[in-house]
Every structure is written in C-alpha cells, then in structure tokens.
Structure 1
Amino acid sequence: MQSTILPDNLTAAGHASEQTASAHGLPTVIAYILKDHALLVNEQLELPRLPAHPEDIVVSVEPEQNGQRVVARPTFHENEIPAGYQFVPVRQLVSHWTVAQFEQTSRAMQLLEWKRNHQFCSRCGHKAVAHAKEHCMTCTACGYSQYPRINPCVIIAITKGKQILLARSAQRHTSMYGLIAGFVEVGETLEQAVARETLEEVGIQLKNIQYMASQPWPFPSNLMLAFKAEYADGELLLQDEEIAEAAFFDFNQLPTIPPKGSIAYWMIEQVTQQASAL
C-alpha cells in the first residue's frame, strides 16, 4: 500500500540547495537518491531537499507539508550531494523504519529500477519516454506502453509442532537462516507456488497452507506474499544450488534470523508467539 505520509525519520533537511532554489523561484522537492541500493541521508536519516529536476519521478505528494512533492531522482552528479550526506545501504536502514517508512522507500526504489530498465521499447527497440500523467514508459515509434513490473514471491513459515523450518542460502556467504521463498510461476496459484517451492528446495510436503500478509521488497522489485503452513510428510532433501543447510529449530533456540523490518522476521515472530500462547 502506498504511503501518503512522509516517513517519520525520513524527514527532509533544508540546506544551501533549497535556499538557492528559493532565490531563483524554483520549487524544491524531497528527494530519494539511490546508488547501488544505498540511500542518500544525513546523520539524522533525513532526506535532502533539492531543486526540482525534469526527470524526477513523483513518489507521493505530502498534504501535511503544503503539497510538498517527494520524488525519486534517476540521475545525479557527485557535486550535487549536499554536505553532511552520505549513502547508507537500505538493508541497514530497514530495522530503523516503520512500515510506512519502508513502503515509501520501497516505492521509490522500484520506480527508479523500472525507469532505468525501460529506456527502450521491448517490442520494437525504439526509444521510450515517460508518460506525462502516469508511471508508464511509452514507445516513440509503436506506442507500446511499459508499466512498473512487480515480481510476486511467496515466503513460507513452516512449523512442525514447537519447531520452525529455517534454511541458510547457498548463494550468500552468511550465517543467517531464513524462510523458504521463491517466485510464483506463470499459471499457478499462490498456494501451488508455496507447495512447489517447498518441495523443490527442501523435499517436504505441507498442509494447512494459510495466507498471512505481504510486503514490497525492492531487491529489485518483489512483492513478498507471506504464508504459514504445517509439515505434512517427507524427509528434508535439500536443493544444493539453493539451500546450504536446513533444519527444524525449537522456537526458543533459533539461530541468527533476518533483521527486524523484514517480513521474514515478522513471520517468525508471529508463529512463535502464536505457538507459545497455545
């Protein structure tokens, strides 16, 4: 869900650029500027106010700040970075944000990724330009329209009595354990994707598959669809190229898990708390 409220600690800080813009009668915007999945903020986690730019992508308009526009900026130059600001990896910031803060940042990141990857028409190869009124890249030759892409991805909290299945990725050099997850394939339901991904990655069957919640995840443009399910049958048989280790862990003896702010953390917290209340 799109947030219409500027994130609490992603407020905007005024600086010389804002004063320059004001002196020349130019509007200022609150800007999301990203570089390799790192966000430009100051020590207080404030976003910069900058003069508006023709290539800005509008993320939201803030009624509580006199219609102040919040934008995602596709291009920037190093000499435009205000003093006192630096790029901080978004993954490091997630645990400090509320849901609204993360959702707005996610929207900005995904819009930037989409525009960057759709400069040309996928049908005929000619130049595409941004639509004036909506998030759409339109071909200058054939008129084909390309809208922001969202990749649906299921993530599953699998329980077995007082235990939860956690797995360590084979593709990342980390000691962190997470939940089974994977992309939804063409022509399948979400529940079918849950069952298929689990069977493919760890070789077990499930029962009582239930939807929990969702979260936009901008790495790069995923929509995480959270499910919980119970172990039904089978022995753990790992898909080596995806899973390095997997095991059922007691709720009170969990390994390192994803950080607060991720939907995986919330799911693990939910199922362990619900089980403890029984």
Structure 2
Amino acid sequence: MSDEFIAGFNPPPDDGGPAWWLIYHEDKFLVQDEDPPRLPLARQVWELGLTLETARYLGQWQGRPAYAATLGHPAATPEGYAWHGLYGLAMGWPEGLTALGGRAKQILAWERRNRFCGVCASPMIDDPKERARRCPRCGLVAYPRVSPAVIMAVQREGKVLLGRSPRFAPGRMSVLAGFVEPGETLEQTVAREIKEEVGIAVTDIRYFASQPWPFPDSLMVGFTCQWVAGEIEVDGEEIVEAGWYGLEDLPRIPPRSTIARRLIDHVVVGAQHLGSTGWR
C-alpha cells in the first residue's frame, strides 16, 4: 500500500469501500486514540455518530479517497477517538500525512473565510471546475490563500545562527523566518528579514527546500546563506535572543519533521564534514 497522496478535486465514483476522514472542529482533528494517532477510516461518517456541516474531497491517500470535513454541531467524541491539534500530530505523523492534514486545515479555513464576497458582500458559491469560490453577482473569484514566507540558515565559520522568538518557550531556538512583502523577491526577503531581526548582512543566498506550513496558511521556502558583515543585534520584538551555535552546543531546536530542523542539520552536520569553511 503506497503512502503517496494524489491530489484531486472531483471525487471518484462510490466503490462501496471506506474513505479517510479529516474531521475538523475548533482547530483540532478527530483521530483514533492510538500511538501514533490514526485518521478515521470509515464507509460513512454516521458510523462515527457525527453530523457534518461540509465535506470536501482532497484526493487519494493510501489508495482510498480522503475528505476534509467540519462538524455540523458539537457532538460527543466517538469511543476510541480523541481531538488533537495538527502541530502535535505532526510530531508523530509521516511528512505526507502531515501535509494532507495541512491541506485539509487550510481548505476548510479558506471556505469559512470566504462565505461572502469581499467586494459586494453577496453569498459566494463553489466553482464546479476548480478549487475556487465565485461571487454570482460581481464575479470575484477567491482561491485558497497561500502566504509565502522564507526560512533561512545563516552560516558563519561552521556555526548556524539561531534565534528565539518571544512566542517560544525559554531555551527553544530556531532559524530565522519571515513573510514576503509585495514587490520582493524571495532572496530580497531573506536579506531584509535577517538585517531587520539581528542586524547582520548575508551573501550567497541559495534555495534549499520548501514545506507547506498551515499555521495558518504559509508556504515556507528555505534558504541557506553566509554571514558577510555585522554583529548580532536583536530587534527585541521578533527576536529576543540570538547566537551562533555548532553541533556540540545546540540548544532545544525544532523536531525533525520541520524544514527548520532540516536546515539546521544541513549546516551543522555539513560543517563537521567539510571543516570550518563550511559546505560548498
């Protein structure tokens, strides 16, 4: 059985088999209370004793249809199930399943925010041909929102720059990140965010990888870069603490399921193999 997710818009014909259900309520998903938690796999949601407000087809997961759904009204949690937030689930789920959960979360949030037209306030309707909502009165089209953001690992003499946001728990650090502003390239955003948050200049900005990040609707685009000038001076708002760290003195860092951790591992492990001049 393949773990591959195949995105789709139009649901397949009913073959009488079960489907995966990503049931969402108050920012949490319903999962089987196991280790690791599993999605409900059921023929119909009424088997779980639940009534849905809306259900949207997402595609195929492990060879079966997958649907995102919201509860029509509060209900008792089915026996053997529990409600968990996506961030916590991502700590134990494979990357593909986390991405599926993020897709469901973002689509349901987008629909909730686009019930009415932002221009003329008329009720929006579904587009039958694509993932979009249209205004039947003025023609406004609303697509699911994706907010691009950069996340970057800055290297200096074999060490990586880590900072602490005031939202982080004490002792937890990560690489810097920030949202793209209108008119900016991704590389310009990297340089600007680093300069604004910690006061240093960078060079050799290179694409690394990307990761959907549905908190609430970001696409994290990862970069590596090299320190070129300046010393750390935190802005005190976005970043309240920052420093250079090597493999031997890393603080608490993000889990391996995140692009932040992949960037950190890439820099500090690469530095160990290639020496203090860093990777090429």
TM-score, normalized by the shorter chain, greater than 0.5 = yes
Q: For the structure 1 residues 27 and 78, does the alpha-carbon distance in structure 2 shift closer, same or farther, using more than 3 Å as the test?
A: farther
**Separation in structure 2 between the aligned mates of residue 85 and residue 173 of structure 1, nearest angstrom:** 29
Query: Cα deviation per residue 1:222-254 (whole Å; 9 max; x = unaligned)?
Result: 000000111110121111111110111122210
Alpha-carbon distance, 1:185 to partner: 0.7
2:53 and 2:70 in contact (8 A); partners too: no
Give the alignment partner of residue 108 of structure 1, picking from 100, 104, 111: 104
**Separation in structure 2 between the aligned mates of residue 226 and residue 242 of structure 1, nearest angstrom:** 19
Alpha-carbon distance, 1:29 to partner: 3.5
Alignment partner of 1:178 is 2:174: yes
Alpha-carbon distance, 1:140 to partner: 2.8
**Separation in structure 1 between the aligned mates of residue 93 and residue 33 of structure 2, nearest angstrom:** 15
Query: Cα deviation per residue 1:111-163 (whole Å; 9 max; x = unaligned)?
Result: 11111111111121111122233211111322211000100000010111121
Q: Secondary structure at the match of 1:277?
A: helix
Alpha-carbon distance, 1:35 to partner: 3.0
**Separation in structure 1 between the aligned mates of residue 20 and residue 72 of structure 2, nearest angstrom:** 14
Alpha-carbon distance, 1:50 to partner: 5.7
1:169 and 1:243 in contact (8 A); partners too: yes
Q: Secondary structure at the match of 1:126?
A: coil
**Separation in structure 2 between the aligned mates of residue 255 and residue 203 of structure 1, nearest angstrom:** 22
Corresponding residue of 2:228: 232
2:25 and 2:71 in contact (8 A); partners too: no
2:152 and 2:225 in contact (8 A); partners too: yes
Matches within 5 A, 1:249-268: 249-268=245-264
Give the alignment partner of residue 43 of structure 1, picking from 33, 36, 41: 33
**Separation in structure 2 between the aligned mates of residue 101 and residue 90 of structure 1, nearest angstrom:** 10
2:53 and 2:72 in contact (8 A); partners too: no
Q: For the structure 1 residues 146 and 194, does the alpha-carbon distance in structure 2 shift closer, same or farther, using more than 3 Å as the test?
A: same
Q: For the structure 1 residues 174 and 119, does the alpha-carbon distance in structure 2 shift closer, same or farther, using more than 3 Å as the test?
A: farther
Alignment partner of 1:202 is 2:201: no
**Separation in structure 2 between the aligned mates of residue 93 and residue 74 of structure 1, nearest angstrom:** 18
Corresponding residue of 1:14: none
Q: For the structure 1 residues 147 and 273, does the alpha-carbon distance in structure 2 shift closer, same or farther, using more than 3 Å as the test?
A: same
Corresponding residue of 1:153: 149
1:27 and 1:51 in contact (8 A); partners too: no
2:159 and 2:267 in contact (8 A); partners too: no
1:103 and 1:216 in contact (8 A); partners too: yes
Q: Secondary structure at the match of 2:183?
A: coil
Q: 234-243 vs 31-40, which deviates more?
A: 31-40
Residue 257 of structure 1 aligns to which amino acid in structure 2? I
Query: Cα deviation per residue 1:43-79 (whole Å; 9 max; x = unaligned)?
Result: 23221226266821111135x64xx421111334333
**Percent of aligned pairs with the same amino acid:** 34
Query: Cα deviation per residue 1:242-278 (whole Å; 9 max; x = unaligned)?
Result: 1110111122210001122111011111111211111
Matches within 5 A, 1:50-129: 51=44, 55-62=54-61, 65=63, 68-79=64-75, 81-129=77-125
**Separation in structure 2 between the aligned mates of residue 51 and residue 188 of structure 1, nearest angstrom:** 47
The Cα RMSD (Å) is 2.3
Q: 265-274 vs 226-235, which deviates more?
A: 265-274
Alpha-carbon distance, 1:28 to partner: 5.3
1:128 and 1:140 in contact (8 A); partners too: yes
TM-score w.r.t. length of structure 2 = 0.84
**Separation in structure 2 between the aligned mates of residue 81 and residue 141 of structure 1, nearest angstrom:** 40
1:31 and 1:50 in contact (8 A); partners too: no
Q: Secondary structure at the match of 1:171?
A: coil
**Separation in structure 1 between the aligned mates of residue 54 and residue 127 of structure 2, nearest angstrom:** 11
Corresponding residue of 1:15: none
